[in-house]
Structures are given as structure tokens and as C-alpha cells.
Structure 1
Amino acid sequence: MGYYLKTYLFNPPFVSLPTQLIKYPKLQEGIRLFQTAFKTGMAVTMSISNKKIVEDDKEFSLLFPWIPHLFINPSDLICAEYLEYFQHRERIGGEIGRVAERNSVRCMVANAMGKDCKPSHLIPSAYLTINLNGSKREAHNLSQWWHPHLKLHHKLYQL
């Protein structure tokens, strides 16, 4: 309807395998590159074979003006993948990144089986506020954001 609410989400869940558990950064990046290539290949294959592709430019484009504020702690396994999602998307860029970011493997498989699925986790843009204190003990507690001496990094990731 064209109304975009100011949204502030603290420790929002990101449904994904927590790749930050892997100790080797090059292996983490390799996994992300494989996921991107796999999703892009799957989307292209489905569009060539005239199957319904998950990518819905109209619905995804409707979210462009909405830029939520996400507050995340990189030590929090539940929400840390948002940081990796946006950083990886920024590194990849181009047409491959565009196709991969608008599709989810779960929805492509569901659509191939004739079920309707919308990739509800896809966010085109966000203001990320990252807690640099890195307290693993309080990683998912809301109270971490109340400390008077927070070290924060703030960045806009925009498609």
C-alpha cells in the first residue's frame, strides 16, 4: 500500500546454518560462494525448464523503499548471519548476486514440487547496527543494548 513503518529489530532470527562456527574464514567464504552459485544455477535451470521460479520481482521490489534497522551481535548464532548475508551480497554483486539473493533453495524446491512458497526472509536493504563488544555470555539478551559503554558499528546495506 506504500506505507513503510520505521522498524527496529533487536537480535532478529536469520534461518540459516551458522557458518561463523567454522574457524577458517576461507572455508566460510567458500561455502557462501558455493551456496550463491548453487542457488543461481538452480534458479536458471528452473526458468529454462519453464518451472515456476521463486523470484518475484514485483513483491521483492515492493520492499525496496523499506529499510529496517537491525541490531545484531556477531557472537549471537541466531542473528549473526544477517551481517554475513549483507557483506557477502556486497562482495558478490552483479547478476549472479541479484539472482541468488532473490531466491531461496527451500522455495525453489517447494515450487518444483507444485507447492506455493514465498521467500519471506529476503530483505533488499537494512541499516545494520553491530555490537562490537562481542559478549558471548549476553549475545542474544536484549539487555546487551542497554549498556552505557557500547561499541557499535552502523552501516547501511542498500540494494
Structure 2
Amino acid sequence: MEEVDNKALVVATSDREDFISAGPFHLSVVDWDNENHRRSVAASLVAGVYILERDRQENRNAQHALAPLWWEFFNFRLIRHLVDDVDHSIFGAVYEYELKTSPQSNNSDKGIPHYIIAFRGTLTQKGSVTRDIELDLHLVQHGLHNTTRTRMAIQAVRDVVASSQNRNVWLAGHSLGAAMAILAGKEMAIMGTFLESFFFNPPFFSAPLESIKDERVKHGIRIAGSVITAGLAFAMSVKKPQQKSRSVETFSSLSSWVPNIYVHPGDHICSEYIGYFQHREKMEKLGVGAIEKLATQHSLGGLMMTAFGKQAEPSHLLPSACLTINMAHAIDLKKAHALQQWWKPESEVNFKTQAFLYS
């Protein structure tokens, strides 16, 4: 009986990792001006990183590897994979678009990305789970930027941009990988390079207020949180005015960068992005936008760590974004956090998109 169960598990895992079974095989032709197609391609190449690592763990050689079709179907080739220095797991990949005639693409479209840099999130298999959870803990403590994996990710993005000769570069990531991608994107934006970015289910660590059904209660809690955060930030800036000046300048320098963020209301890991951006608009309408403008640049956790002398970098804080919410009902957290939801055919999705620009 145990042998049968194990075989069933292997088949189920292979089905989820096989592009033809689980990927957007319906995209026989990619319209690079179509936002749904662009999102699906970006998500697929992030999936390719997950499966690259699964190929490594399962010792699947080139003949049996499942990862390549996830990028080859869209006419990309893998030019580099990024390996963690601690557990030697593959956590990222750099893809290059192959400029040749292909039935899957329209080469005349200027929107085609020349390079895509993608990062995976946490894997629960024993070959990577220990290191991934360690990084998740760093993320919770606003210290992900100090880890060697993140530094490697940022350096890889710098290298690709430097060698791209002003060609189109995309940045993509899911979950933990999205948090790393955000940090890399911020670094480039501060330097004046605004990368086309796709962040799927990026972590936003806060109380899950989106699960509260009463809008008045939820809004009241958010107002109280904004007042407390803004007050604490102001008090700390009085003590360290130079630090406040740098923080404001850094946040403002990111305002022209508008990354694409994809979240599901049922995913408590990322759902607070909904309230983070929508609450800012509500505070503006109430005439107290100045309070929220200060609060939106800080997190209580980050402020507390800074107060205790620790360098904190909350990866989730962004001034501008194009936020896409999956309005479809999710049965459980696992499905609400899944990467697969972002490459479904247009006929099967119910997405709501809104741009939030910081001024």
C-alpha cells in the first residue's frame, strides 16, 4: 500500500512540474502587448527556477529534466543559474530571448524582454527547506538584505543590466523570491534604472486585516496604525534628522518605478498590499494624507529594530505599484499563494488591476 501511495505522489509531483500538464500551454502565440500574456510568461519563467532546483534534487539529467520547456516554449534560453552559497540550491536564473523566427512569438514587437531575471520562493523539500526557512526568518525580521543569497541576487541583476546595452530587462519573483527581487529592483531604481517587474505573492508581514469583513472596523484599525507608525517615525526623526532625510530621499527616488504586484485576498502572506495602497487613497480623501505619507514609508517592526540599533530594510514598502488582485475564491491558503494562478487563460481568471502612484 505504501508503495502505491509513493508512486501516486511521484506522478502528482511530475504533473505539477511538467509544462504541458501544468503550464500555459495555451499561449501558442505570445502577444507582448497583452498584459495577460506578459504576466503568464514572467510567472512561467519563475516556475522554471523552482523546477530547475527540483531537477537538481531529483537528479533528473538533461534527458529527463522538466525545467527547460518552461522557458524554451517562449523562445528563451537559460544563460545562468544562481546557486546559494550555503546549501548549493538553485534560487534564481537569468534567461535570454533568442532572436529568431518562432511560432510562439512576434519578434517585431519592441516589448519583448531581452533578458528576464527570475527568483523562486521557498521549497519544502529537504534539499532546500532549511536554508529557505532561515531566509524567511530574516525576511520577517527585515534583515533579508543582509543575507548572502540576496547580495548574490542583487549583484546578478546589476551585472545583467550593465551588460544589456540598454535592452529590455525584466525582473520577476514569487514569494521569498519576490521579496529578493523587490530589493534588487529598489537598488536599481535608486540608481535611476527602472526595470519592468513582476512580483507574485510578495510577502507583506502585518496583521491579516484583509480578513476582517467589516470595512469600518478595518479602516479604523488602519487609521490607528497609521497614526502610531507616523508618530513613532516622527519621534525618531527628531533624534536622528540625517537618517530621516536619507529615508525620505530614498523612498521618493523609488516613486517613478511602478512594479507589477500580484496578490490574492485569501493569501495572508501578501494580502496586506491591498490595504497598504488602498488605505493611502482613503487617507488622502479624509484630508490626512500627510500622516499616511509618512506612515507608508515605515513599518512598526522596522522602526522598532532601528530603535534597538539594528539595520532594518522592510522589503515590502513601495511608493508606487500596479496592483493586480485575483478576485477568484481560493479554497485554502496554499492555492491562494500558488504561482500557478497567474498563468491561467484569460477566460478562467477574474483579475482587478489598479495603479497607485506616489506623489
Q: TM-score range by the shorter chain?
A: 0.7 to 0.9
Q: Is the counterpart of residue 34 in structure 1 residue 215 in structure 2? A: no
Structure 1 residue 73: deviation in Å?
A: 1.1
Gaps of at least 5 residues in structure 1 are none
Structure 1 residue 131: deviation in Å?
A: 1.0
SS of the residue corresponding to residue 12 of structure 1 reads: coil
Residues 10 and 70 in structure 1, CA contact (< 8 A), matched pair in contact too: yes
Q: Is the counterpart of residue 150 in structure 1 residue 345 in structure 2? A: no
Match of 2:193 in 1: 3
Larger helix fraction of residues? 2
Q: Is the counterpart of residue 72 in structure 1 residue 267 in structure 2? A: no
* Over 6 Å off, 4+ runs: none
Match of 2:175 in 1: none
Do the aligned partners of residues 28 and 51 (structure 1) sit closer, same or farther apart at CA in structure 2, a change above 3 Å counting? same
- How many angstroms apart in 2 are the aligned matches of 1:136 and 1:86? 25
SS of the residue corresponding to residue 199 of structure 2 reads: strand
1:14-37 deviations in Å (ceiling 9; x for gaps) = 111111233433222221111101
Residues 263 and 271 in structure 2, CA contact (< 8 A), matched pair in contact too: yes
Structure 1 residue 3: deviation in Å?
A: 1.0
Do the aligned partners of residues 38 and 47 (structure 1) sit closer, same or farther apart at CA in structure 2, a change above 3 Å counting? same
Gaps of at least 5 residues in structure 2 are 1-190
TM-score, reference length from structure 1: 0.88
1:46-71 deviations in Å (ceiling 9; x for gaps) = 334x2465571121122112111011
**Equivalent position to 2:278, from 83, 87, 104:** 87
Structure 1 residue 118: deviation in Å?
A: 3.2
Residues 104 and 119 in structure 1, CA contact (< 8 A), matched pair in contact too: yes
- How many angstroms apart in 1 are the aligned matches of 2:316 and 2:344? 29
Do the aligned partners of residues 40 and 150 (structure 1) sit closer, same or farther apart at CA in structure 2, a change above 3 Å counting? same
What residue identity is the alignment partner of 1:147?
K
Q: Is the counterpart of residue 140 in structure 1 residue 337 in structure 2? A: yes
SS of the residue corresponding to residue 7 of structure 1 reads: strand
Larger of the two Rg values belongs to structure: 2
- How many angstroms apart in 2 are the aligned matches of 1:109 and 1:129? 31
Residues 202 and 316 in structure 2, CA contact (< 8 A), matched pair in contact too: no
- How many angstroms apart in 1 are the aligned matches of 2:199 and 2:237? 35
- How many angstroms apart in 2 are the aligned matches of 1:118 and 1:146? 31
Residues 64 and 125 in structure 1, CA contact (< 8 A), matched pair in contact too: yes
- How many angstroms apart in 2 are the aligned matches of 1:63 and 1:133? 31
Match of 1:12 in 2: 202
What residue identity is the alignment partner of 1:27?
V
TM-score, reference length from structure 2: 0.41
Match of 1:120 in 2: 315
- How many angstroms apart in 1 are the aligned matches of 2:222 and 2:342? 29
- How many angstroms apart in 2 are the aligned matches of 1:26 and 1:51? 36
Q: Kindly indicate whether structure 1 or structure 2 has the higher relative contact order, using CA contacts under 8 Å at least 6 residues apart.
A: 1
- How many angstroms apart in 1 are the aligned matches of 2:337 and 2:258? 22
Structure 1 residue 100: deviation in Å?
A: 0.7
What residue identity is the alignment partner of 1:150?
V
Q: Percent identity?
A: 39
- How many angstroms apart in 1 are the aligned matches of 2:273 and 2:322? 11
Do the aligned partners of residues 111 and 147 (structure 1) sit closer, same or farther apart at CA in structure 2, a change above 3 Å counting? closer
What residue identity is the alignment partner of 2:303?
M
Structure 1 residue 119: deviation in Å?
A: 3.6
Kindly report the root-mean-square deviation, in angstroms, between the aligned alpha carbons of the 2 structures. Answer: 1.9
- How many angstroms apart in 2 are the aligned matches of 1:16 and 1:96? 19
Residues 264 and 327 in structure 2, CA contact (< 8 A), matched pair in contact too: yes
Aligned length: 158
- How many angstroms apart in 1 are the aligned matches of 2:323 and 2:236? 33
- How many angstroms apart in 2 are the aligned matches of 1:145 and 1:47? 40
